[in-house]
Amino acid sequence: MHKYILVTGGTKGIGRAIIERFAADGFHIITCARKEADLKALKLEIEQKYTFSKVFYQATDVSDKLSLESFIRYVRSLNVKVDVLVNNAGLYVPGKITEEDSTTLQYMVETNLYSAYYITKGFVGDMIKRKSGHIFMLCSTASIIPYANGGSYCISKFALYGMTKVLREELKDHQVKVTAVLPGATFTASWEGVDLPLDRFMRSEDVASAISNAYYMSPNSVVEEILIRPQLGDIES
**pTM for this one?**
0.94
Q: Which of 149, 231, 164 is nearest to 198 (CA)?
A: 231
Q: Are 69 and 118 in contact (CB under 8 A)?
A: yes
State whether the Cα torsion 121-125-130-131 is positive or negative: positive
Query: Is residue 237 domain-resident?
Result: no
Domains of the chain: total: 1
Per-residue pLDDT of the chain (237 residues; tens, 9 = 90+): 789 999 999 999 999 999 999 999 999 999 999 999 999 999 999 999 999 999 999 999 999 999 999 999 999 999 999 999 999 999 988 899 999 998 999 999 999 999 999 999 999 999 999 999 999 999 999 999 998 889 999 999 999 999 999 999 999 999 999 999 999 877 666 655 565 666 768 889 999 999 999 999 999 999 999 999 988 877 765
Give the DSSP per-residue string, 173-221.
GGT-EEEEEEE-SB-SGGGTT-SS-GGGSB-HHHHHHHHHHHHTS-TT-
Query: Is residue 233 domain-resident?
Result: no
Domain hosting residue 194, numbered range: 4-228
Query: Is residue 234 domain-resident?
Result: no
Give the DSSP per-residue string, 95-108.
--TTTS-TTHHHHH
Query: Is residue 108 domain-resident?
Result: yes
Query: Is residue 39 domain-resident?
Result: yes
| CATH number of the domain encompassing residue 199 | 3.40.50.720
Query: Is residue 236 domain-resident?
Result: no
